[in-house]
Structure 1
Amino acid sequence: MVNLQGKRVYSSPSYRALLGDPEKLFGTDAFQEIHPEDRERIRRVFRETIATGVGQRAEFRFLLKDGSVRYVESQGSVMRDNFGRVTNVISVSRDVTGRKKAEEQIREQAALLDKAQDAICVTDMEQRILYWNRSAEALYGWTAAEAIGQYGHELLFRNDSLRQMEAIKSLIAKREWKGELRQVTKGGAEIIVESRWTLVHDGEGHPKSILVINTDITERKKLETQFFRSQRLENIGMLASGIAHDLNNVLAPIMMAVPMLRDRVTNPTDRKLLDMLDRSVRRGADLVRQILSFARGVEGEHKLVQPRHLLADLEKMVLETFPKSIQFQKKIDPELWSTRGNATQIHQVLLNLCVNARDAMPGGGTLSVAAGNCSLSETEARAHAGVKAGSFVVIGVSDTGAGIPPDLREKIFEPFFTTKAPGKGTGLGLAGVRGILKNHGGFVDVESEIGSGATFRVFLPAAEERFARSTFAKPVEIPVGHGEMILVVDDEEAIQQIARATLENFGYRVINANNGVEALSVYKQHKEEIKAVVLDSMMPFMDGGATLRALREIAPDLKILGVSGLNVDEGISVGPGGVQAFLTKPYTAQDLLTKLDSVLQPLTR
């Protein structure tokens, strides 16, 4: 109790813990122990209480003699005399230091939670959001004011509700849960979070709330997916190299046999069949080279290409293999310019676009191909990285499908992005198209309207020699042998037989070996007669590289023609200590004879 001058007239025994002996406090200034920063404010409250006769609640700090600070909550009231005049002010106070420290700790923890990189929220057991930190605002887009009071399962989940229910069951059983969840943001974007849930209990041990800490791992999951797919592609590349080698062994006898058969056939119909067989086996060889280019990341050789021929082949393929419900239309400029590039890769680009157009019209429609010439200005070229202004060949592929939504038109060129159902596409097609065209100095653009289909336009730089005129090359004279003995080393019987037949038809004598071990034995027996060796690189027991080294020890100057089903073979190289020349399967009779002749040239016949 304090008089109107602010002097203590009574202090309860409970003041002993704060200010000492209550009896010694009598007559002392009631404001003396109040913290200097709070003192004037409390004096003002004291005066207002006396003036109005209405008590006020106030919080302030006591600054004790030992320098410690205690927080006090006080409720004031007045005492009046018989005439209604205020005579004293009664203050009922309590020490709230513990509560204030707890509140300060909570504020500090809340500030730390707001600084945390993870999205943190607290929900009740019905998943109504009670707390939402700043990182949650940044991740999901909803402010705390928008999120608090909402149900988490309605706000954040679109299609992963079953997974969420499993998390709830596990949380109740084990008091915590950890896993990955697919959620949505305010903008509708789907994200993947690594989520940790902890069950919070009340004082009686009953479940009270759920603490949820979410880490955005969307980009990490994308990188993981791309890494796994890259590993898969690497494995496919390794497998492709092996398959390509085997296919080349299959194609090589056919490619050498066709010219020999053509010389023996006189019936025009049979000759046409052989011509078709020759074209097919060459196309097969091109496809194998394309597989190897993909597997090894090797860019194909660029030559003069007339797109008209590729489009004619493409038309035939579409008409023969696409559903009859798809109509094909074409419009080709009769003066279409030529370009320089890899014909197989450009054909792959056009076929890929046609296949995509087909898939965009499952119920049928019209696939249109148009080709013409154009020129790009400096301004137009700058819109495409790496493209130079000048003359271009433009090939457009159009469909009458559903069209491409605007928000997907750039994403469709990203690696592994696909709108097709699982198992229907890898998402590599259009990324490959863009990559091939970039290597050719060109680009691709797309126009589409929902409900009206899409048009992809391929731009390829026109060659300086824009018109590829048909020229009749003088037939190349095939070199012939003069009775030289050639050792053919190959584990494929068909290749042995056709190579032997070819060489014998053109004046050579031939001796065969099935592998490196046999080749060494045969050479030692006939080393005075053998003038050259045709050596395959991949064989059982003793491969081409080991055989080459062994032959070089026996006969350092022996003429050797290396052969492989791969474009590059690490075991066999051209140069000192290696082979004089290298031949890639499948090869024609002319290829074999020409290479062998170049190897034998230094010899005196």
Structure 2
Amino acid sequence: MIYHPIKILLVEDNPGDVLLLQETLADLTSIELDWVPVERLTMAIDRLAGEDFDVILLDLVLPDSRGLDTLLQIQARAPRTPIVVLTGMTDENMALQAVQAGAQDYLVKGQASGSDLLVRSIRYAIERKRIEATLQQRERQFRTLTENAPDVIARFDRQLRHLYVNSAVVEVTGFSVGDFLGKSNREMGMAVDRVERWEEILRQVFSTGLPISTEFEFLTPTGVRYFQSRCVPEFAIDGSVESVLTISRDLSDLKQAERKIREQAALIDISPDAIVVCDLDNRILVWNQGAAQIYGWTAAEILGTDAGLLFRQQPSPQLATALQAVLESGRWQGEANKIAKNGGEIWVSSRWKLLRNEADEPYAILTIDRDITAQKQLETQLLRTQRLESLGTLAGGIAHDLNNVLTPILAAAQLLPLKLPDLSEQDRRLLKILEDSSKRGAHMVKQILTFARGLEGELVPLELGELLMELGETIQSTLPKSIEIDLQLPKADLWLVSANATHLYQVFLNFCVNARDAMPNGGKLRICAENRLIDETYAQMNLDAKVGAYVVVTFADTGTGIAPAHIDRIFEPFFTTKPLGEGTGLGLSTAMGIIRNHGGFVTVSSEIGRGTEFQVFLPVIATTTALPVAIPELPSGRGELILIVDDESNIRQMLKITLESYNYQTISASNGVEAIAAYAIDRDRIAVVVLDLMMPLMDGTTAIRALQQLNVGRQMKIIACSGLVPSHSLRQMPEVKAFLSKPFTAEDLLNTVHRVIWQP
């Protein structure tokens, strides 16, 4: 109900019609009317310039204006005021045109005498104008909102054509607004498979009246864009879905960022280095595949763990110093010794960087660790050799001085009983103790000299088979019955070595006694000998080896093993892990001196709880005649293509020369990434991949997994090579058909390649 007076501007030049309208409404008590009559258009325009009216009653035929132009001029001056046109009986068509042009209603003058009809028309005109103004305001608000929104907002009709699209579509797609209007996404070039899904969603909204969210791709002049869209139904008065409004957010940058993050994550995981991120409380936040391979823990096991306690059995001052340095300077670089999951020590070259957030506040530490354990082992081997040489020089000098001290003591102890025949029995016993102790000291000095210079004595051509048979008989009768002796000699004769049988027997017996002491509860001692050719490949992997023919004697026990911390010192004089009084620590150092005096060398490998293996390499006599046993003929290839993957150029070259000398073709790669590229090109021709497991950029295990992805549904044969013991997971890979332990010979390589190629 309208409570305030309705102010009416009556534009009518006929006084009778003015009076009739006023009298018709004079008796109304439900509303109060304020009439302002004018006779001309100019007068109406003047009044509209200074006053506001609730409604205008307008005659289209005035002295100074006629027809629709009258309405248009009034609308121009008062666009928000509702207009009811007054027309005569013969002007009804003109009145209808006026309504179409914007008038709210029209009244035929002869029918406007009823007060109810007139009031209702006035009220409806006012209300319609108010509703129209409200709708226009809301439309303006909608336009303001949509035209300034960063998202693409569109309206679709039931034919799935664009009724409206905001200006954001121009920036996002490169098309103009006009390009979309009246067209469907199918007509705009959306891919067929995607447009069918899009049309299905729109039809579903039309049929169900429920909103739906979806993602889709759209081809624009600048390329494919990715959108996340919310499709909302718009209802008609009868409750049916009249149109669908869609709000689409451009996710292209987000998708690109996600793809970049995935690529970076893949690069991080494919790196053989351990990449770890810890917060400032040292809790692990990021743990890549390289870290899992180096240290043994998976990301699921490790995330959230205190890194300081993880890598050490007790807090490490070294890592604490590194942490302090990176917090102060932002960076730290150095070498660190850490503990893996299996308890083994790992040396890493480590780089630390302090990470900061947008506010330049530190929040985490990035650590990149590169496994340098193998490098450290070679360095240790070199240092051990140098240390043993220095100890030998020192021991030789001390031994000479000790001999000078012991000689008069021993002589006096032997001469005094002869000079003093009347000595008591107790004095004679004391002199005997002195003599025995001097002899024992002289024997120890002899052992020191053996370590320093090797035993002197004539070296003669010797076939070790008989010596080892004699050794086997001796230890079979002297070692405890709980120890099983397994003596393995080749059917063909062993090659001749230049040796002193007595000295070698002493060395071999020493290894057997050490094996006995390592197996107090029994076990197995395996002694075997074989002829072996050491090529340049093997020699490059072992500092003591030289290219040539050797006889190799192996002593392997199933005893307690040697701790990693001790294995580098076992050849040092006087070093022993036996209880006081049970060993001098000269046995292995003496053996090393004897073997070196024979031009050979000794290797050792051990695992706690599994046993120890010593291998004695003795060079074969260099003669102009053929060796006693013919070198076996090595298998040749039939032109098969072999992919060689190793980061050491010398090793790649030797493998290439060896294989090509025996009728194989080769291609080479210096790391896992190059190997994948080479295999992708020639995978149909490659018969075998000979792959090193320890490489930069991408280690062997990761490379094998990548090669598997390239070779789905096809048979692939890989020979893995490493100076370390292969992991259990590597042995389980079906593609890995064989494992070559570095250093290996050309014979080992050729036999293995031939076996792998021809095995079913």
After TM superposition, the score normalised by the length of structure 1 is 0.49
* Higher alpha-carbon Rg: 2
Higher RCO (CA-CA < 8 Å; seq separation 6+): 1
